[in-house]
Amino acid sequence: MATAEERMQILQMVADDKISAEEAARLLKALEEGSRPKPPPVQPRWFKVRITDLTTGKEKANINIPMSLVNVGVKMGARFAPEVEGINLDELISSVREGAYGRLVDVTDEEGGERVEIYVE
């Protein structure tokens, strides 16, 4: 919270016609926002993979891996998954470690009739 002295300095600048009332309001708001503790970033809890059949719309696979096991799960899955053009598995793991959130991959395989979605919640 802004100190009374800081507020008085801003009000005095308005009284001395050094700043406008609008500028004073912005300064006071900035003081208040700057003094509030920022909430911690949301930590994702799940690494999710969904594979959907394009013809029927039904899920073929619905995999939820706790984030605490994501390194092991992704490495194991990489041994069985075919190479997907344009997706670098190491970059995907790195972005998850750095706090990526939401949908990370959305690939449609028209020939195989599948859609693969990977996201973090």
Structural domains in the chain (count) = 2
Residues 25 and 84 in one domain: no
- pTM check: above 0.75: no
The Cα 95–Cα 38 span in angstroms is 23
Nearest 5 degrees, angle CA 76-CA 42-CA 91?
Answer: 40
> How high is the pLDDT of residue 78?
60
Residues 30 and 50 in one domain: no
CB 104 within 8 A of CB 87: no
Structure confidence by residue, pLDDT tens digits, 83-121? 556 667 777 777 777 777 888 888 888 888 999 888 888
Residue 24, domain extent: 4-35
Q: Residue 41: inside a domain, yes or no?
A: no
